[in-house]
Chain A
C-alpha cells in the first residue's frame, strides 16, 4: 500500500495499529508510534532543550505546522541537529508502524502533522530500512520474546566488557520496565534499545523468557555461521547462548 501511495504521490496519513506515517507528495515526512519515543522525549530527556522550550515551540508554531522550523529559527537547535534527530525519530517510529502484525491499514488523504516537514525521505528507503532493521535484530538474537518482556539483568561473567550505553540500560532495568519503557526513560530511540536488549540477551546478560520461540518470520541465518535447524529443545538454546556469549568475548 505504501508503494502505491508513493507512486500516486499521495498526501495524507497512513494509519496502522502500531503507528502512523505521514506522506507529502508520496514521500514520508513524519512518523509516530506509541512504541517509539517522540521528538519531545528524545530532545528533552537528553537535556538538549528544556521542556519549556519544546512547549513554547509547539504552542507558537504547532498551528501552522512548523514546530521543527521554529526550533531552529529560535536558536534552540542547529539545522543539522534537527534533521538528524528527526530522521532518527521517523525511521524509529516507521519500524513499528510497518511491523507485519500491524492489522488493518487506512489512509486519510490530506491529513498533515503539526511538526512540519524537515527532510522528506522516499517511501522505498523507509521500507528498505525497516526490513534491514528486522533482519539485524534477528541476526543478533532471533527470539522476539525479549522485545516486550521486562528486562531482568543477570550477573556478568568475570571480565565481561560492556559499553557505557548498555551499562546505563542495565542500570535502569529494575525487573519491571520493558524495552519500550527504558527507551522512554533514557530518551533513546526504541529500535536502538531493542537492539541493545537483543545484544544483551545474546551475551547472556539478561534473563530470556523460557517460552522463547523462534520468530514466525523466516530469516536467513547470520552469514558467519552454518545454517542451524530451528531450535525447539531448551538445551540447544542454552548451548547456542553459551556459544554466542563466548564468541562475544573473542
Chain B
C-alpha cells in the first residue's frame, strides 16, 4: 500500500527514468509529477497524453473489443513513453505516465516495475 508520492518516487527510481506523472485522464490534470526538468514538461505531457488514451479507448469501443487497456507504449528515437492505466474502484480514470531514456532503460523490466507500482497504489 502506498501513496501518490511513494508511487512517483518508485517510478522515478526505475532505470533510465526521465520523469513520471499520475494523471486523471478525463480532466488532463496531473495529480502529481516527478522529474522531467527542462527536457520534458510533465504537466503538458499529462494533458496531451489524455488525448492518446481517450482515442485508444474509443477505438477499442468501435472495434467492439471488450478488454481493458493495460498499457500503451510510445517509442521515440531516444525515449520510451509508457502509459499504464489504473483500474480504479472509484469512477475516476487515471494513468501513470513514465518517460524513459532509451539507452539507459530496460523496457521489459520497466513495464514490470510500473505494473507493481500500480498494484501497490491501488491496494
Contacts and interface: CB of A to CB of B under 8 A. Distances in A.
A binds B: yes
Contact of B7 (A80, A119, A162): A80
Interface in B1-34: 1-5, 7, 22, 24, 26-29, 31
B89 A46 contact: yes
Contact of B29 (A43, A80, A91, A188): A91
Given A79-B1, A119-B4, A164-B61, A46 B121 contact: no
Nearest to A192: B26
Interface stretch (B73-81, B90-98, B107-115): B90-98
B123 interface: yes
B58 interface: yes
Contacts of B52: none
A163 interface: yes
Contact of B92 (A85, A132, A195, A196): A85
B29 A187 contact: no
Contacts of A161: 58, 61-62
B4 A78 contact: no
Interface in A42-77: 42-43, 45-46, 48
Interface in B43-62: 47, 54, 57-58, 61-62
Contact of A84 (B27, B31, B58): B31
B41 interface: no
B29 A129 contact: yes
A186 interface: yes
A43 B26 CA distance: 18
Q: How large is the interface on B (under 10, 10 to 19, 20 to 34, 35 or more residues)?
A: 20 to 34
Contacts of A88: 24, 31, 92
Contacts of A241: none
Contacts of B4: 80, 83-84, 87, 119
Given A87-B31, A195-B27, A163 B2 contact: no
Contact of B1 (A42, A46, A80, A187): A80
A119 B26 CA distance: 21
B70 interface: no
Contacts of B1: 78-80
Contacts of A129: 29
Given A87-B31, A186-B91, A191-B27, A81 B2 contact: no
B121 A80 contact: yes
Contacts of A189: 26-27, 92
Given A79-B1, A136-B28, A161-B58, A84 B91 contact: no
Interface of A: 42-43, 45-46, 48, 78-81, 83-85, 87-88, 91, 119, 129, 132-133, 136, 161-165, 186-189, 191-192, 195-196
